[in-house]
Amino acid sequence: MAAFSNQSVVPLALLFIVFSVLQNPRISASSSSSFSYSIIEGASCEEDLNGTGSFDSLCVLNTSVSLENDLYIRGKGDVRVEPGVSLSCPIAGCVIDVNISGSLELGKSSSIVAGTVVVGAANVSLDEGALINCTGLGGKPPDQTSGTPLGVDGAGGGHGGRGACCVKDDRKLPEDVWGGDAYSWSTLAEPWSYGSKGGTMSKEVDTGGGGGGRIKVIVEDILDVNGNICADGGDASLTGGGGSGGSIILKAYKMKGNGKISASGGNGWAGGGGGRIAIDIFSCHEDPEILVHGGISHGCPENCGAAGTLFDSVPRSLIMSNHNLTTETDTLLLELPNQPLWTNVFIRNHARVVVPLLWSRVQVVRGQLSLLCRGILTFGLSHYPFSEFELMSEELLMSDSVIKVYGALRMSVKMLLMWNSKMFIDGGGDSIVATSLLEASNLVVLKESSVIRSNSNLGVHGQGLLNLSGPGDRIEAQRLILSLFYRINVGPGSVLRGPLENATSDDLTPRLYCESRECPVELLHPPEDCNVNSSLSFTLQICRVEDIHVEGSIQGAVIHFHRARSIIVYSSGSISTSGLGCRGGMGRGRISSNGVSSGAGHGGKGGGGYYDGSFVEGGDAYGDAQLPCELGSGSGNETFGLTTAGGGIIVMGSLEHSLSSLLVDGSVKADGESSHLIVRHQDYGTIGDGNVGTGGGSGGTILLFLRMLTLGEMSTLSSTGGHGSHIGGGGGGGGRIHFHWTDIPIGDEYLPIASIDGEITARGGLGKDEGVAGENGTITGKECPKGLFGLFCVECPSGTYKNVTGSDPELCRSCPAYELPHRAMYINVRGGVAGTPCPYKCMSDRYHMPNCYTPLEELIYTFGGPWLFGLLLSGLLVLLALVLSVARMKFVGADELPGPAPTQHGSQIDHSFPFLESLNEVLETNRAEESQSHVHRMYFMGPNTFSEPWHLPHSPPDQVMEIVYEDAFNRFVDEINALAAYQWWEGAVYSILSVLVYPFAWSWLQWRRKKKLQRLREFVRSEYDHSCLRSCRSRALYEGLKVAATPDLMLGYIDFFLGGDEKRPDLPPRLHQRFPMCLIFGGDGSYMAPFSLHSDNVLTSLMSQSVPPTIWYRLVAGLNAQLRLVRRGRLRVTLLPVLSWLETHANPALNMHGVWIDLAWFQATGFGYCQFGLVAYAFEEEAFTSCEVSGGLLRDELPRTYSLQGDDQVNHNVRSNENILLRKRICGAILDSNSLRMLEERRDVFFPLSLIVHNTRPVGHQDLVGLVLSVLLLGDFSLVLLTLLQLYSISLGDFFLVLFILPLGILSPFPAGINALFSHGPRRSAGLARVYALWNVVAFICGFLHYRSQSSSKKHPNFQPWNFSMEENGWWMLPTCLVLCKCVQARLIDWHVANLEIQDRSLYSKDPNRFWQS
């Protein structure tokens, strides 16, 4: 405020005088007061107030002044009231007016006391204890007000709030009894009325407290309040009521301080009402205490005076607070502003505010309406609940508070928050004003047992969230409509209910259509506007809400969810209309003459009642099972109030707008009421107890228009009948549950529309004692489209189809069996099967649609079936074999053509004999002169394997003792044995290959043997210094020792030669000096290495000293032909023909030349391995006579001594031969027929192979055998390919197993066979043929093992391994063909090898003459 000018002082003073005269009659000239009253104008600081200074500079009041007149102070300076100084006019209505341009300062404990105090200054400050006080000094209130109570009740005075009254009137409600009334409600922003005087309890003496005065402080800059500004009502004694508070107006730019500003009511027998305070402060740096509460009532402490009003002009906020003083007296709001609107209204601390008008709009659109700490806001009058009220605000906040509405409420807020608060709406039973609407556009939250309750219609609308947070939170009405929220959350323990529980007769009760047989159209086609309509059948509707989450309870008689998207009922949640249906109805239970009643009917007939020999039929069933919409019926005697109610109706969705999804983990129930739960009812009220022979109510209706349903494990969807009473009451019939599915997806778009893990029931109620149980109700679903069946329209089971509309499971017919291929099974397809042919799939991905054939079978049936395919394949194989044979003959040429070649007499090698005769080809042993210096041949011990490598004994034989140094020889043996040993990894590789693929193991062994022989020969030839030899020449030229081996690399030996500088007449020894001489066989009797006598140039030259070379070569060829038939593992049997052949063919011819040979074994090793061979020794001349016949030796011309002899002579000869061996230090023994029986044979793991492949005699017909072998080779390869194709059909893993692990055993026979057939030379062809035989055997074994594993491990009922035919009984064809093919091949390979190795079949002639003549 600008500083006052000199020209404005007088007019402003006149203005205040006029204002005072108008407000106080005592200032008027016509005043009727008993004492004279004057005005001090233009008061002087020193003369009138005994101060110092001037009002135009500084006036200091240092002496207390008590006035009896109004005082007006004007000036341009400052006024300071010293501490402890008082300026007072203690007369009711007296005015002290201070209007200065400077500052007003009240020192500590100073005061200004008057009925009216007006201050205008630049700054005002009140120090601690300072006081501007108008308490109890108010003048006369405005005319035509009733602030001062009449009578002698001692009631409090009224002003901003009503005064309390402690008089009890049983004819009135507590809030209808009060003292002085409120007034001046139209000047809340600038209140300027005196408080009213309190009432008295004596007619003679006025004992009431005075009303509060008036205080106006207008400050241009700062108002500093550290003291008190009081316009309280005056206190009264216990015989009078307290006065009401006065008025305080404070205007300043800034206010600070921690003082008190109060216009509270005075204390008394009944407290006075609070006054009115208005502040217009732009900036408040501190918060002084501002009080407008009512006074304390000593006569009724629970009913203090009502709170006054505090209006803050800057935020335009109205505050009503009773300072936590309990009261039953109201603060009135009679006139509410239009423009500008209030920003906030706060009702706090036990304040009670009432809007008592018939119609009123409380519009606080710019801020919030806040009720805190037991604040109460009441609209209307309890005895006249027919008004309508509008409440508009940004926010409505309630905490521990109550809003009461008598009539109807139209509320529009953005946010409604309730904390332990209540909102009660009493519609008064008038249907005209029965509907209340609460609209919260953003948020509605109820917490801590907050309640919204209406005994009429209630609509709650919003666009945001409605949240009932927890236990005790409730929204209930007789008809409740919730709409337009995006989400409603019903928390645990909270309730949505319509109609009210235990409602009174005055409540607007919804009428149920219990007797109507027509379905209300709004249940199936509800209106789209979601308005509250009393004519509709709903008692609780949730309309146009996106998501509904139920953790608490939703209860009602007719519950409808319209245009909702999803509903989730949690495990603690429930939606229930149980026992809220009809108490009569179309299926009501019947009553017998003795009072017992039957159960009510609905979906099922009610159970009969029986008592004391009297039986009564149950209520009838009614309604449509395919689209039910009826309430459940009740039973019992209505005359006595002993009735049960049926279940209500729950409808979710509509025909036009279905519910998207319903998820239930809790319960959805429309059960009938059981008789043990009933009490006497009258219009939803309870008036007594009773339970005599009453039947149970029938179940209601659950009608679901939805697209997807999910029921959890503990969920319940029920419409069951109620149980009868214990005195023969019948059970109620079950209700009806119907699933009306909308937009059921079909075909490829199908998705399951229901997931059911909980319980769905419509069973009838139990009858007690002799009462009969009610019949079960109905559970139905909408007719399913083609391919689907059942309540939930699931797909027909695999193997069935449904080509009609309906839900009956019998409509799913079985698919024709003839349309299902073998190895196929029916499958479920999305959307079910709507017709034939039914879809199916093959049992494995390896079978091919549509016939579920394997690739092999597809190939077979492409060419007309198994037999035609076999015929075509056989013809093709024969044709290819002919082409292959012709190509073989052209490619090989005449290398394998049989027939002898001309013999050149005198040559060392006779090429007319088969190639077995030419095994004498060994490197570096082909020089004839070597035999002339040859001294001795020392054989290696052992078979040259990884487990038993070659090794030499350390002691030198007697034959070389003269040409070697023994110590050096022993060192040489150590070095040789070390070199001959194999590394561990070589044996490991061999072991692995032996398990996986034996032919590779044999090739690996031969390759390592060859490398070992080369290493030994290189060592002896170039690395060893020959230090063990005595000959200097031999040591110098490295010529005294030679290492060699048989072609099979199993028998090795070292030849000792003279160096040329030894001049010894006894060296080298002649043949007869070497006798007995060991001739050891190469090989081991196996298929790949048969026994054979290796005759090289040295041996041939030595034997030629007694035996002509032609005789010797022929003997070696015949002996090798016999030895190739010897089989390891069967030596005792197969060596007998060799003994016989030596006796009949060999020895007779050799005896003529003084030589005898016997079969013997030599050099047994530590592992038990022994070598077989011949012992040749000279035959004494007197023991036989020779007869030379041209062309050979004849059996008849053999010496007598070698004919059949007695046992003594034979044993004598054997003992003589063995003695010769002992004398020569030869480790071994002679074998004859007797000693063979004692021969111990060791059979290894490969012995069974000899049963399949073994060497045989030649059969001739080389080309024919080759042709047949070619046919079988191609056939075998074809069968292998077919087998791989079949394995691929069985399992991809099996296919790769065979392809990458067993192909060496499955596929290699073909290339090995081709290589053998097209190889040049008999020797190479025979060797490759043997390899081919090994591969063939391994292929057979691997295939057999794999077949056995497949047949034992694959338990598929519709598959047999190796299946060649579509018929399962033909599974044996492929393995049988393979077995036969392999067996025939084995025999043909044996013949083929024999034809290649033995081209002269006379070698097997039993006639010695023919043998030698050939």
Query: Concatenated DSSP letters for 681-733?
Result: EETTEEEE---SSPPPPPP-EEEEEES-EEE-TT-EEE-PPPPPPTTTPPPPP
Residue with tokens 């016949």: 1189
pLDDT value of residue 31: 31
Burial-class residue 1187 by CB neighbours within 10 Å (0-12, 13-18, 19+).
middle
Q: Quick one: which of 590, 573, 577 has its CA closest to 670?
A: 577
Across 648-652, 1032-1036, 1406-1410, least confident range:
1032-1036
| Average pLDDT of the chain, as a whole number | 81
Q: What angle do CA 1162, 1167, 1172 make, to 5 degrees?
A: 25
Q: What CA–CA distance (Å, rounded) separates 144 from 1157?
A: 166
Across 97-101, 753-757, 858-862, least confident range:
858-862
Greatest CA separation found in the chain?
Answer: 199
* DSSP assignments along 31-45, one per residue: ---SS---EE-S--T
Residues in the chain: 1414
Task: Label residue 986 by pLDDT band (50, 70, 90).
Answer: very high
pLDDT at 379 over 60: yes
Query: Is the Cβ–Cβ distance between 1370 and 1363 less than 8 Å?
Result: yes
H-helix or E-strand spanning residue 938? strand 934-939
Higher pLDDT, 290 or 385: 290
Q: What CA–CA distance (Å, rounded) separates 1393 from 896?
A: 12
Q: What CA–CA distance (Å, rounded) separates 45 from 78?
A: 11
Q: Quick one: which of 1003, 1090, 990, 997 has its CA closest to 1046?
A: 1090
The residues, ordered by sequence, that sit 6+ positions from 1079 with a Cβ below 8 Å of its Cβ are 1093, 1099, 1157, 1173, 1174, 1175, 1176
The residues, ordered by sequence, that sit 6+ positions from 557 with a Cβ below 8 Å of its Cβ are 498, 499, 510, 512, 539, 540, 577, 580, 581, 631, 648, 649
**What pTM does this model have?**
0.66
pLDDT value of residue 1344: 57
> What is the helix, strand, coil percentage profile of the chain, to 5?
25, 25, 50
pLDDT at 1201 over 70: no
Q: Amino acid identity of 44?
A: S
The residues, ordered by sequence, that sit 6+ positions from 462 with a Cβ below 8 Å of its Cβ are 439, 440, 441, 442, 443, 444, 484, 485
* Cα dihedral across residues 1408, 1409, 1410, 1411: positive or negative: positive
pLDDT value of residue 1371: 54
Query: Is the Cβ–Cβ distance between 1382 and 1373 less than 8 Å?
Result: no
Q: Amino acid identity of 1046?
A: T
Higher pLDDT, 1388 or 1216: 1388
pLDDT value of residue 174: 72
pLDDT at 84 over 90: yes
Across 263-267, 663-667, 715-719, 1384-1388, least confident range:
1384-1388
Q: What CA–CA distance (Å, rounded) separates 743 from 93?
A: 83
| 620-624: average pLDDT | 92
Share of the chain above pLDDT 70, in %: 80
Q: What CA–CA distance (Å, rounded) separates 217 from 1092?
A: 144
Q: What CA–CA distance (Å, rounded) separates 554 from 574?
A: 6
The residues, ordered by sequence, that sit 6+ positions from 1180 with a Cβ below 8 Å of its Cβ are none
pLDDT at 125 over 50: yes
Q: Is 876 helix (H, G, I), strand (E, B) or coil?
A: helix
Q: How many CB atoms lie within 10 A of CB 1181?
A: 9
Q: Quick one: which of 1002, 996, 992, 1088 has its CA closest to 1341?
A: 996
Query: Is the Cβ–Cβ distance between 740 and 652 less than 8 Å?
Result: no
Q: What CA–CA distance (Å, rounded) separates 517 from 527?
A: 21
Q: Quick one: which of 218, 235, 26 has its CA closest to 115?
A: 26
pLDDT value of residue 891: 67
Strand 52-53 versus strand 58-61 pairing type: antiparallel
Strand 685-688 versus strand 680-682 pairing type: antiparallel
| 296-317: average pLDDT | 93
Q: Amino acid identity of 46?
A: E
pLDDT at 1300 over 90: no
Q: What CA–CA distance (Å, rounded) separates 917 from 909?
A: 8
| 575-601: average pLDDT | 89
| 555-566: average pLDDT | 93
1246-1251 LR contacts (CB < 8 Å, sep 24+): 1246/998, 1246/1086, 1247/1128, 1247/1129, 1249/998, 1249/1087, 1249/1334, 1249/1337, 1250/1086, 1250/1087, 1250/1127, 1250/1128, 1250/1129, 1250/1130
Share of the chain above pLDDT 90, in %: 42
Q: How many CB atoms lie within 10 A of CB 47?
A: 8
Query: Is the Cβ–Cβ distance between 607 and 731 less than 8 Å?
Result: yes
Q: What CA–CA distance (Å, rounded) separates 963 from 1061?
A: 11
The residues, ordered by sequence, that sit 6+ positions from 384 with a Cβ below 8 Å of its Cβ are 358, 406
Q: What CA–CA distance (Å, rounded) separates 252 from 221?
A: 6
Q: What CA–CA distance (Å, rounded) separates 533 from 481?
A: 9
Q: What CA–CA distance (Å, rounded) separates 981 from 1370?
A: 54
Report H helices in 896-1027. Answer: 966-980, 984-996, 998-1018
Q: Amino acid identity of 118?
A: V
What tokens were used for 460?
């709650």
pLDDT at 163 over 60: yes
pLDDT at 682 over 60: no
pLDDT at 1223 over 60: no
Q: What CA–CA distance (Å, rounded) separates 759 from 717?
A: 6
H-helix or E-strand spanning residue 216? strand 214-219
Q: In 1090-1204, which ranges are E strands?
A: 1092-1093, 1155-1162, 1171-1178
The residues, ordered by sequence, that sit 6+ positions from 1353 with a Cβ below 8 Å of its Cβ are none
Give the tens place of pLDDT for each residue, 386-442. Answer: 788 888 888 999 999 999 998 888 899 999 999 999 999 988 776 666 788 999 989
Q: Quick one: which of 190, 257, 255 has its CA closest to 221?
A: 255
Query: Is the Cβ–Cβ distance between 15 and 99 less than 8 Å?
Result: no
pLDDT value of residue 194: 95
Higher pLDDT, 899 or 1116: 1116
What tokens were used for 48?
């009138």
Higher pLDDT, 1000 or 578: 578
Q: How many CB atoms lie within 10 A of CB 1224?
A: 17
Q: Is 1310 helix (H, G, I), strand (E, B) or coil?
A: helix
pLDDT value of residue 396: 93
